[in-house]
Amino acid sequence: MIKAQNLRKTFGEKVAVDNLSFEVEKGEVLGFLGPNGAGKSTTMRMITGYIMPDEGDAIIGSHSIVQSPEEAKALIGYLPENAPSYPDMTVEGFLKFAAEVRGLAGVKRDKAVDHSLEVCSLDSFKRQSIDTLSKGYRHRTCLAQALLHDPEVLILDEPTDGLDPNQKRAARELIQRLGETKAIIFSTHILEEVEAACTRAIIIDQGKIVANGTPAELVKQSPTGKLDDLFRELTIADTEKQEAA
């Protein structure tokens, strides 16, 4: 469903993503892990067509994001970092606007909006302006936007960032349910979320994959049996490793 093929992106002399390849099938929730600056968001932006790769491609379904971006994007629901929205709009108004951008109109638009409100538990907030919502409900609103057209692929960049523990749990449970029928890439730096919500995980560092496997497989690679220790070992800078030795 998602095939990242030798993706590469540079910004000046900085190599943000370096020859990255992986696949995500329908029914998988891929945890995308890495320290700040590892290339997670850049990779997700290339997969969604938000920015074009310098080299490589991403295949969504059977469509190339480079050669057939409109067809590929039609299959994607994207929750970007920081969950952008229009704060002066109501939740319902924003979702209707987003649905129309997706080409939905009339009864189809209204049904799509109602379904997204229900899935994201936003019915009681639909007439509330977005700027009055808590951060958790703003995130839910932007996730509802990503679900309007019932996409086969979901790309979620730090969807639980800034949420309280109850909101994080609700978000993880929703992602798990959605992952039963969709291919999902779920970027996070919270390692407990990987074991709670993901069927597989990739750790990247300096734009390259340094580990790939199920949460259980990754835990087995850690000498302490802890995912956070494996993460630290694989992503800590060489200079810091020398200082710690």
- Backbone φ, ψ for residue 132 (5° rounding): -95, -5
Residue 107 lies in a domain: no
Instruction: Give the max Cα distance, the chain.
Output: 65
Residue 91 lies in a domain: no
Residue 137 lies in a domain: no
Residue 46 lies in a domain: yes
Residue 87 lies in a domain: no
Residue for token pair 């002066």: 88
What pLDDT is recorded for position 139?
Answer: 84
What pLDDT is recorded for position 243?
Answer: 46
Distance (Å, rounded) from C-alpha 205 to C-alpha 40?
Answer: 9
CATH number of the domain where residue 4 is located = 3.40.50.300
Distance (Å, rounded) from C-alpha 127 to C-alpha 63?
Answer: 37
Listed in sequence order, the DSSP H helices in 120-164 are 135-147
Residue 106 lies in a domain: no
Listed in sequence order, the DSSP H helices in 48-134 are 69-73, 91-101, 106-119
| Domain enclosing residue 55, as ranges | 1-75+154-162+186-245
Write down the pTM of the prediction. 0.89
What pLDDT is recorded for position 245?
Answer: 46
Angle subtended by helix axes 135-147 and 165-178, to nearest 10: 10
Q: Which parts of the chain have pLDDT scores under 70? A: 237-245
Q: In total, how many domains does the chain have?
A: 1
What pLDDT is recorded for position 166?
Answer: 84
Residue 177 lies in a domain: no
Residue 235 lies in a domain: yes
